[in-house]
Amino acid sequence: MKKILAFAGSNSPTSINHQLLLNVTARIPESSVEMLELRELGIPFYSIVREKEEIPQDVKFLYEKIVESAALIIAVNEYNSNVSGFFKNVLDWLSRIERKFLQDKKILLISTSPGKRGGAAALNYCREQFPRFGGQIVENFSLPQFYENFDSEKGEISNEIFEMGVNEVVTTFSQEIKA
């Protein structure tokens, strides 16, 4: 079984991207998916001064989890047409341990938002940046208008078209990580 690490780039305990992540990871067959909540890690704001003192243990922990995994499922949240400052900070720290911290990692990138674009700007940012860190985006999925298209009580995508879309994306990702 291939080991997959999954996490959302949000520090909110009520993250809609985390809800979508739970839905997506439940669809992954024959793999070992480890969910990690970044908000529970004690990752301080990056600064060159702090880096010179020492890389924080939780950053090292996350880096090792990424290294140990064959693939990643990352749910990226969007604030003001960009990734959140919280998630950008995590990426900054990881890149200071190793510039290619995503080297050879196959990635399923997902996002949702309350708006019509479904986190498209954050997805675009990650699609551009992750290959620079050595990652390979295998598939991506955006769920627009979260509150209209997702049933939080059931943890299900309620829109039939988006349900078919996420199934297709997960199938492609699952086949790719088997290869």
The Cα–Cα gap between 58 and 60 comes to: 5
The Cα–Cα gap between 52 and 166 comes to: 42
Statement: residue 32 has pLDDT above 90: no
What CATH number has the domain bearing residue 77?
A: 3.40.50.360
Alpha-carbon Rg of the chain, whole angstroms?
A: 16
Within 13 Å and on the Cβ side, how many CA atoms surround 6? Answer: 25
Query: Domain tally for the chain?
Result: 1
The Cα–Cα gap between 179 and 167 comes to: 19
- Find how far residue 3's CA is from the centre of its chain: 15
pLDDT tens figures, 35-52: 999 999 999 999 999 999
Q: List CB contacts of 57: < 8 A, sequence separation 6 or more.
A: none
For residue 55, what are the domain limits? 3-178
Q: What pLDDT is stored for residue 25 in this prediction?
A: 97
Q: What pLDDT is stored for residue 1 in this prediction?
A: 58
Give me 141's structure tokens. 């999925």
Average pLDDT over residues 124-132: 97
Looking at residue 28, its amino acid is I
Average pLDDT over residues 163-174: 97
Query: Locate tokens 């955006």: which residue?
Result: 142
Cβ atoms of residues 7 and 36 within 8 Å: yes
Average pLDDT over residues 29-37: 88
Q: Confidence band (pLDDT; 50, 70, 90) for 29?
A: confident
